[in-house]
Structure 1
């Protein structure tokens, strides 16, 4: 279940006041800007001042052209966290786009794991992710996970260009089976166009770079996940509209099934299943939902 920004902030303030905040927190949402704002607000509450002006505040985000947090960034962070604090006794680390640590074999994630398992005393580590399913299970299991929903139905500027594609996806069909096939075709077509749009730029920019193909795959996956997050958000918005109209919760079951299908697809993809196989399995094997719930 997702919580509103305001609810999350209120609960975190209460936990800080009662000294019951865990050492590692994972904030997830479809909006990266919302996560940055919430992470900064929690850091402000912990440090009692503007975190950007506090010597014991550390912020880490992807810096390389491959959009990764590097092993060296993680090593530098871990070293700094184990040093004595400059002021008072509290240290706070805000690690943005944490899923990027898991790219390229996940060396950065593995280097960070021990610090996450045994953080220094009086240290709070806040991770943010718009793709929590891309994080290693070892990282997920060591964090308090909090899902934050956008303010009411807002989409970022970069997501607006995907909105026409989402509207096509949401168009109903009188034949349920035909509708499933249409969605499979739409998703395949979307991914093909995404790869075609990204590939020429990569070839021009890095014609001989060994990692260019991996970077292209990462960008394509990011675009796919952004599209699926937006579709899921649109279904949640439809559920909210139905409930506000006073409709029976049963009228929302079809939307909930669609959200489960997308969640199942994301999970299969995070486990490394072939993309084409995962898409077809998600939409053509509804029996899997029943088996999981039985």
Structure 2
């Protein structure tokens, strides 16, 4: 497997990596930037070894930017656009890369043109595995026998980008960040990553089952997609969440149906879900910020309100949590 990302307008190769041979038994980490361009800030963190490539990239471009992304060999791709308005361009059409969705694909020898419009910052995370790495990783996992994506790969039935996609949930969001941002000691990095990759694929399997369960719960397939899109949008925007009215307009569903189906699907109200996300994030901020800073980061205008919410959730205040 070989991967290359080339930025056309600045004639720069962001990264170019041959993953067909073992370069180092450990995971290699690199941070890459384009320092010489006044209108573009581009940086990528890549981690790789034979058959595995992990990338997290950020772009801030004042002009339109085109990324020619080339991959040789059979590969499995898991990608997520957290921010931006990018499009995939082909001879036939131009497809938006929908923000807030995880896309899974299985393909071979592809060259993809990605257009990023000016003044719309882009953030994406992606994982690429060779077919051999993927099959070796999951060979002893009992659940794969019932997984349709795995069956397509076993049969050599390519699944194009966009065929298999899911609005992100908090668990997937957390796992992706753990994989792309982790700085574990190299002695254990491979074992840690393989465990997290297995967890990622299992969670995606659960997402497929969740779709079936949602229909069983009495939510139409059309509304189910909208509810899961709302769920994904809240995960990305819980620090400054939209009102129910604004969220309903975004997903083209009336407010009453949104509230009803959201609770039916996830067992909690939208307000409860936002509080849950904020409190999960709050735990990670303990010891790194003051209580006042934590409240601001999480979108609380009132520090006492934040403290009371935290105590109601965990049984102790943020300050008491620092001493535990």
The TM-score, its normalising length taken from structure 1, stands at 0.29
Higher helix share: 1
Which structure exhibits the higher relative contact order, with contacts defined as CA atoms closer than 8 Å and separated by 6 or more residues? 1
Higher strand share: 2
The TM-score, its normalising length taken from structure 2, stands at 0.27
